[in-house]
């Protein structure tokens, strides 16, 4: 049985299942989901707690199975937590988890922690046994477009709110820019605001003065920002990735992969294939699929050729070569490549011509 994180508290209020699985990469949301289960367990009398961490292939699964069947010396009920940081229990662990699910007891509540799982792991026999025996909680990351709403909900929960209308939206957007990709730090900044300005409306200037720049950027999200034409965000991400010590070659690979995919899909369309079919053949899925659907019809063969050439030149620069018409610094070259792509995906203002509109490269 699957339950979303926002549904978990309501689900637990109706009664406890013998087993809960929390899986996902965001540490704050995963921790909060686990804390919610622990609080409900304590309230229901599961007062003794045992923690097992599966590290390496020499973990004693028989000890875990025996512990789940042993009577507690200190309480009538116990909470057993199983942490599998790698997300792969192995053959012995897979069999043990399936046996574990067959011997669940009302006197034992089990909480299993897992990282984000891929499609193959979600279809495995051991995860299927866990899902069938209890409740699985999939922790989904908060995307940038949803972050202002998430922040507003958290502010409301601590008795605060931003101004109505445009000023409030500007405040939430500023907050989101400062904490993007780092919900743990976002939580700390929210707690700081609760201490500084308790139970009242927040002005933009107050948030601007209080909230630190604690954003953490994902190199694979950079391509989405570029294809969406989010110029300010994309340039901010490039600066952030550089400050965090990300490898310039990886950033280039991310942008170049998108450009190569655009080239392949564009060529397939030129050969008469429908756009949806060309996207499927090139394995363009999810958010990128929607962005490609918007971008590709506006790109000419000349645009695509220029982007491929730019990616090739930038590849040489990040590896130490020089080009007379390009910056010598790798990150400046990456900035130019990103701007080249955004220049061609940004919609033109009414009445503007493509040759008359250029971003500053």
Q: Kindly tell me if the per-residue pLDDT of 73 is higher than 60.
A: no
Q: What are the tens digits of pLDDT across the range 37-57?
A: 999 999 999 988 999 998 867
pLDDT at 353: 43
Residue 55's Cβ-count burial label (10 Å; 0-12, 13-18, 19+) is exposed
Fold of 2-138: Rossmann fold (3.40.50)
CATH code for the domain defined by 144-210: 1.10.8.60
Q: Residue 352 class from Cβ within 10 Å (0-12 exposed, 13-18 middle, 19+ buried)?
A: exposed
pLDDT exceeds 50 at position 131: yes
pLDDT recorded at residue 57: 72
Mean pLDDT of 2-28: 92
Class of domain 219-356: mainly alpha
Closest by alpha carbon to 26, among 127, 124, 108, 146? 146
Q: Is 286 exposed, middle or buried (0-12, 13-18, 19+ CB in 10 A)?
A: exposed
pLDDT at 1 over 90: no
What ranges do the domains of the chain cover? 2-138, 144-210, 219-356
Claim: this prediction has a pTM higher than 0.75? no
Q: pLDDT higher for 76 or 84?
A: 84
Comparing 95-109, 292-306, 345-359, the range with the smallest average pLDDT is 345-359
């Amino acid at each position: 049985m699957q339950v979303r994180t926002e549904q978990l508290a309501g689900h637990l209020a109706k009664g406890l299942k013998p087993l809960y699985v929390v899986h996902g990469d965001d540490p704050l949301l995963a921790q909060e989901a686990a804390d919610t289960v622990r609080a409900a367990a304590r309230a229901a009398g599961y007062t003794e707690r045992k923690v097992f961490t599966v590290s390496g292939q020499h973990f004693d699964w028989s000890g875990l199975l025996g512990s789940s069947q042993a009577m507690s010396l200190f309480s009538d009920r116990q909470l057993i937590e199983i942490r599998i940081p790698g997300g792969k229990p192995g053959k012995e662990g897979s069999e043990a988890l399936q046996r574990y699910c067959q011997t669940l007891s009302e006197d034992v509540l089990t909480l299993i922690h897992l990282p984000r799982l891929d499609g193959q792991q979600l279809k495995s026999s051991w995860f299927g046994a866990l899902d069938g025996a209890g409740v699985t909680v999939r922790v989904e990351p908060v995307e940038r477009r949803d972050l202002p709403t998430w922040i507003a909900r958290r502010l409301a929960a601590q008795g605060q709110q931003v101004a109505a209308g445009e000023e409030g939206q500007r405040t939430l957007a500023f907050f989101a820019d400062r904490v993007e990709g780092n919900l743990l730090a976002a939580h700390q900044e929210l707690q700081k605001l609760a201490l500084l300005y308790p139970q009242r409306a927040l002005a933009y200037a107050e948030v601007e003065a209080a909230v630190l720049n604690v954003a953490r950027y994902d190199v694979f999200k950079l391509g989405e920002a570029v294809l969406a034409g989010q110029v300010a965000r994309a340039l901010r991400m490039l600066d952030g990735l550089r400050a965090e010590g990300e490898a310039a070659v990886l950033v280039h690979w991310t942008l170049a992969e998108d450009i190569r995919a655009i080239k392949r899909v564009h060529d397939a369309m030129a050969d008469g294939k429908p756009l949806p079919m060309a996207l499927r053949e090139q394995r363009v899925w999810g958010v990128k699929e929607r962005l490609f659907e918007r971008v590709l019809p506006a790109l000419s063969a000349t645009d695509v050729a220029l982007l491929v050439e730019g990616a090739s030149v930038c590849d040489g620069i990040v590896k130490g070569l020089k080009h007379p018409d390009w910056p010598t610094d790798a990150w400046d070259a990456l900035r130019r490549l990103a701007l080249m792509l955004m220049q061609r995906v940004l919609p033109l203002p009414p009445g503007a011509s493509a040759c008359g509109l250029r971003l500053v490269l």
